[in-house]
């Protein structure tokens, strides 16, 4: 009998310890209030998981524990109840504080508040999301080729800033062509990587600094680095779509080695030479991201670097040919998730230089890479 009475008392006490939400249609819900943005309220329940309720459909509510409340720009902490169109917060230091329900912009449980504060000031090892790309192709028989492309991207997003890292490499060889064995030749060997940091000044405007680094063995490009900075504008910023417009200035330095002078004479009578150059230029472009449905994401970026000054692009001994150099980088790609950590990626990159250095064989203006393969995603 005693155990029976204790069971009844416990069962009666459980609803009293739960948060209560009464709706205007007469329904009553119990659970734990998780968060609200003043438009919807999330109630965690044992019987239906998380319930999202329209805030204007609520007749009254009460919490058994503390909630962090922001209303009319002021914040208070304590158990919450409603009285008519007023929200009452029983604070420990200032007594009961009242605010119009219509002025409430934030309700958070202690756990949600802790997560929010952590998001404002994440550690450098926290808040990262990204993935590794891997593609490999092999042919045998009429031709013998090997192709490997790898990539890495990571984004650390804070409340007011963002840090982006990326790296891509492609390497391929061939050792047989049309049934004729040939000495193994490298047909592609290029690397690119970079870093960019964004910091919001106001909700729509941000500043950025960046560094991009390139190497291409077949172009005899030892290193090209572009160091820049400027301002950006969040033209579109929604959960599914972002579009950032960028403008700034940069410093570009590049060095080449063992370039072959265009010359009708065969090696070794023609001349090889090295070349390095530095210039300052504008930076203009955009970054675009769009979630296509539940599992696919499209990313696109375009950066253009028109130089301020003229550059001598002639090889040694030739008549100077000063021109304005225009470089650009265009990227577009998709990632389609196969599960939580594995996906399929497809990417296209074009690195453009309107006046490449004179060399034999000639250096093309466009250096295009198309790659596809697996994507291994991570989130920390």
pLDDT at 3: 47
Q: Which long-range contacts (CB under 8 A, 24 or more apart) does 360-367 make?
A: 360/260, 360/261, 360/262, 360/263, 360/270, 361/260, 362/262, 363/219, 367/190, 367/216, 367/219
Same domain, 102 and 33: yes
pLDDT at 312: 54
User: Residue 266 is encoded by which pair of tokens?
Assistant: 């065969």
Segment (H or E) for 53 = strand 49-54
pTM beyond cutoff 0.75: no
Same domain, 23 and 143: no
Select from 120, 152, 180 the last residue of a domain.
120
Same domain, 114 and 135: no
Host domain of residue 46: 2-120
pLDDT at 178: 59
For residue 212, what are the β-bridge partners? Answer: 194, 226
Same domain, 310 and 235: yes
Select from 120, 136, 157 the last residue of a domain.
120
User: Residue 179 is encoded by which pair of tokens?
Assistant: 């049934």
Select from 69, 92, 120 the last residue of a domain.
120
pLDDT at 7: 46
The parts of the chain modelled with pLDDT lower than 70 are 1-17, 176-182, 263-270, 310-323
Same domain, 114 and 145: no
Same domain, 25 and 106: yes
**C-beta separation of 163 from 206 below 8 A:** no
Same domain, 205 and 80: no
Same domain, 111 and 162: no
Same domain, 108 and 138: no
Same domain, 272 and 312: yes
- CATH number for the domain harbouring residue 151: 2.40.160
Same domain, 69 and 185: no
User: For the chain, what is the domain count?
Assistant: 2
């Amino acid at each position: 009998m005693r155990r029976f009475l204790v069971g009844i008392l416990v069962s009666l006490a459980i609803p009293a310890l739960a948060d209560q939400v009464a709706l205007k249609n007469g329904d009553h819900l119990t659970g734990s209030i998780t968060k609200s943005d003043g438009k919807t309220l999330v109630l965690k329940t044992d019987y239906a998981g998380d319930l999202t309720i329209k805030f204007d459909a609520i007749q009254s509510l009460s919490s058994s524990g503390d909630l962090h409340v922001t209303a009319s720009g002021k914040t208070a902490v304590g158990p919450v109840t409603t009285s008519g169109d007023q929200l009452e917060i029983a604070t420990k230091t200032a007594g009961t504080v009242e605010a119009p329900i219509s002025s409430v912009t934030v309700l958070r449980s202690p756990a949600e508040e802790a997560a929010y504060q952590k998001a404002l000031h994440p550690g450098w090892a926290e808040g990262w999301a990204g993935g590794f790309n891997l593609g490999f192709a092999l042919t045998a028989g009429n031709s013998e080729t090997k192709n490997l492309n790898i990539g890495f991207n990571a984004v650390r997003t804070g409340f007011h800033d963002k840090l982006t890292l990326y790296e891509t490499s492609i390497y391929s060889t061939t050792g047989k062509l049309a049934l004729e064995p040939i000495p193994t030749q490298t047909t592609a060997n290029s690397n690119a990587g970079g870093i960019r940091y964004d910091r919001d000044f106001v909700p729509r405007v941000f500043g950025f600094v960046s560094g991009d680094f390139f190497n291409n063995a077949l172009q005899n490009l030892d290193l090209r680095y572009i160091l820049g900075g400027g301002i950006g504008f969040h033209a579109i910023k929604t959960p599914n779509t972002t579009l950032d417009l960028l403008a700034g200035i940069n410093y570009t330095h590049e060095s080449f080695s063992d370039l072959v002078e265009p010359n009708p004479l065969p090696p070794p009578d023609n001349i090889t030479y090295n070349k390095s150059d530095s210039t300052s230029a504008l930076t203009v472009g955009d970054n675009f991201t769009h979630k296509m449905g539940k599992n696919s994401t499209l990313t696109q970026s375009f950066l253009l670097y028109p130089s301020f000054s003229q550059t001598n692009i002639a090889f040694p001994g030739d008549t100077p040919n000063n021109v304005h150099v225009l470089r650009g980088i265009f990227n577009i790609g998709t990632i389609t998730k196969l599960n939580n950590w594995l996906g399929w990626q497809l990417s296209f990159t074009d690195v453009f230089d309107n006046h490449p250095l004179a060399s034999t064989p000639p250096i093309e203006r466009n250096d295009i890479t198309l790659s596809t393969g697996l994507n291994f995603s991570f989130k920390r």
